[in-house]
């Protein structure tokens, strides 16, 4: 066989073998490629992978939406002259401009069902002062009359109950595991527009905020649009779990909303359902920060601690001998640097617990024992 023919045959054989090896290698590489990459390249979602695919959010909304409810309230805002005999006379009512009958105002908010027998979570400010609360469940023509089971103003949480069974529900997730930058979904009835869905990310965690005389310490911040009427609705992660309860917006900014984390909700939920309120330990003192002027006046050479600005008569602190002008520097050996430290430390104690309180008084350090009691309702 001529030399050139041998070269041609060998070249064809090598090309054939190379083609087989290349094809096999591609198959091997494809087999070793993670499913996420294959899905990403093909554009087809793998149903076994949470949070993957173009329909992920739509699927979560379809599953979670039926458990999100619209809450309507009726609040009396005027016309209350009962109990005053002068206003029984029409002349006095006209003279003082008092309406002869009560005036009512409607309110709107959102909530979500957490149990098949009809327990609902929402914000306390949604139902505050309401004389009548009704709930609309998606896909149900019936309007439900809701009963207030428990509420806490300082946490802005409330639990309602509607009669029925086999309601759709939403699970409470772990807000401690959500990370800044994770996607979240808000569902509610802003401005009465039911089943409104907005999406965004967690912008920050642990935000302190003061809203309408309520002081929050640990809010989730999100850029998912939250508007009036969203209050009380769920903030969901991509597993369809509630990680927060939408509660507030910043009126001066865009893309800044806040939600109560489920870590806070879980701590008090059973108490709200079983007792109707959250019981908190109480010392019966009014406190303020140690300013340079106060420190100089009291002969105190530090800026740490909490100054007792007032003592509630008959309260635990007064019974223990704590006086106005004392500076609380430690509780049970734990250093108190600011008034916030004192509040957080006491809140972690049990009602009836005996606390060793360290004080600075007139140049001396003394210790007293204070037994906490339940904080009275008027101070909540």
The answer to whether residue 166 scores a pLDDT higher than 80 is yes
Backbone angles phi, psi at 265, to 5 degrees: -60, -45
Q: Rounded CA gap, 143 and 157, in Å?
A: 23
Block residue for tokens 């991509």? 238
The answer to whether residue 121 scores a pLDDT higher than 70 is yes
Q: How confident is the model at residue 77 (pLDDT cuts 50, 70, 90)?
A: confident
Read off the pLDDT of each residue in 95-101 and give the average, rounded to a whole number: 57
| pLDDT of 6 | 56
Judge contact between 116 and 166, C-beta under 8 A.
yes
pLDDT tens digits for range 15-29: 555 554 444 444 433
Q: State whether residue 246 is helix, strand or coil.
A: strand
Q: Is pLDDT larger for residue 31 or for residue 175?
A: 175
- The reply to whether 175-275 shares the fold of 67-161 is yes
Q: Rounded CA gap, 99 and 101, in Å?
A: 5
The residues, ordered by sequence, that sit 6+ positions from 10 with a Cβ below 8 Å of its Cβ are none
Q: Is pLDDT larger for residue 90 or for residue 65?
A: 65
Mean pLDDT over all residues of the chain? 83
| pLDDT of 209 | 83
The answer to whether residue 317 scores a pLDDT higher than 50 is yes
Q: Rounded CA gap, 270 and 303, in Å?
A: 40
Q: Is pLDDT larger for residue 112 or for residue 30?
A: 112
The residues, ordered by sequence, that sit 6+ positions from 180 with a Cβ below 8 Å of its Cβ are 201, 202, 203, 204, 205
Judge contact between 230 and 191, C-beta under 8 A.
no
Matching CATH number, 175-275, of 2.40.10.10, 1.10.730.10, 2.40.37.10, 3.30.365.10: 2.40.10.10
| Bridge partner list, 137 | 69
With CA atoms as reference, report the closest residue to 209 among 170, 258, 253: 258
| CATH code of the domain occupying 281-379 | 2.30.42.10
Tokens representing 190 are 């802003």
| pLDDT of 326 | 95
Which residues are known catalytic residues?
125, 156, 231
Provide the residue ranges of all domains of the chain, joining segments of one domain with +: 1-43, 67-161, 175-275, 281-379
SS3 content of the chain, % helix, strand, coil (to 5): 30, 35, 35
Read off the pLDDT of each residue in 107-127 and give the average, rounded to a whole number: 95
Judge contact between 100 and 79, C-beta under 8 A.
yes
| pLDDT of 219 | 94
Q: How confident is the model at residue 80 (pLDDT cuts 50, 70, 90)?
A: low
Judge contact between 345 and 336, C-beta under 8 A.
yes
| pLDDT of 41 | 29
pLDDT tens digits for range 82-93: 555 555 555 555
| pLDDT of 33 | 38
Q: Rounded CA gap, 57 and 238, in Å?
A: 7
CB atoms within 10 A of CB 132: 13
Angle at 87 between CA 81 and CA 88, to 5 degrees: 110
Q: State whether residue 32 is helix, strand or coil.
A: helix
Read off the pLDDT of each residue in 357-375 and give the average, rounded to a whole number: 93
CB atoms within 10 A of CB 371: 14
Q: Rounded CA gap, 260 and 239, in Å?
A: 18
State the fold for domain 67-161.
Answer: Thrombin, subunit H (2.40.10)
Judge contact between 366 and 356, C-beta under 8 A.
no
pLDDT tens digits for range 190-240: 888 888 999 999 999 999 887 777 778 899 999 998 888 889 999 999 999
Tokens representing 326 are 């004392």
Q: Rounded CA gap, 123 and 157, in Å?
A: 5
């Amino acid at each position: 066989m001529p030399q050139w023919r041998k070269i041609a045959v060998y070249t064809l054989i090598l090309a054939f073998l190379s083609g087989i090896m290349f094809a096999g290698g591609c198959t091997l590489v494809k087999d070793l490629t993670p499913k996420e990459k294959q899905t990403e390249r093909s554009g087809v979602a793998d149903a076994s992978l949470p949070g993957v695919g173009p329909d992920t959010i739509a699927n979560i909304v379809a599953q979670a939406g039926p458990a999100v409810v619209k809450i309507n309230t009726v609040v009396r805002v005027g016309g209350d002259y009962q109990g005053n005999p002068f206003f029984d006379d029409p002349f006095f009512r006209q003279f003082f401009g008092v309406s002869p009958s009560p005036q009512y105002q409607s309110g709107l908010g959102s909530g979500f069902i957490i149990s098949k027998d009809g327990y609902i979570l929402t914000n306390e400010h949604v139902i505050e002062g309401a004389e009548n609360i009704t709930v609309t469940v998606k896909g149900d023509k019936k309007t439900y009359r809701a009963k207030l089971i428990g509420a806490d103003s300082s946490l802005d949480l409330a639990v309602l109950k509607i009669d029925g069974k086999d309601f759709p529900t939403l699970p409470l997730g772990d807000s401690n595991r959500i990370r800044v930058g994770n996607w979240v979904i808000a569902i509610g009835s802003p401005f009465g527009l039911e089943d409104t869905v907005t999406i965004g990310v967690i912008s920050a965690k642990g935000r302190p905020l003061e809203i309408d005389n309520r002081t929050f310490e640990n809010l989730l911040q999100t850029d998912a649009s939250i508007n009036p009427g969203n209050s009380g609705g769920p903030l969901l992660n991509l597993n369809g779990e509630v990680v927060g309860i939408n509660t507030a917006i910043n009126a001066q900014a865009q893309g800044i909303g806040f939600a109560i984390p489920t870590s806070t909700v879980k701590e008090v939920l059973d108490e709200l359902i079983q007792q109707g309120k959250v019981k908190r330990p109480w010392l019966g003192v009014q406190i303020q920060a140690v300013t340079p002027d106060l420190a100089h006046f009291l002969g105190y050479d530090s800026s740490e601690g909490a100054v007792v600005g007032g003592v509630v008569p008959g309260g635990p602190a007064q019974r223990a001998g704590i006086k106005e002008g004392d500076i609380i520097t430690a509780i049970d050996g734990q250093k108190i640097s600011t008034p916030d430290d004192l509040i957080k430390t006491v809140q972690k104690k049990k009602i009836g617990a005996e606390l060793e309180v360290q004080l600075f008084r007139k140049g001396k350090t003394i210790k007293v024992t204070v037994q906490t009691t339940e904080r009275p309702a008027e101070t909540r």
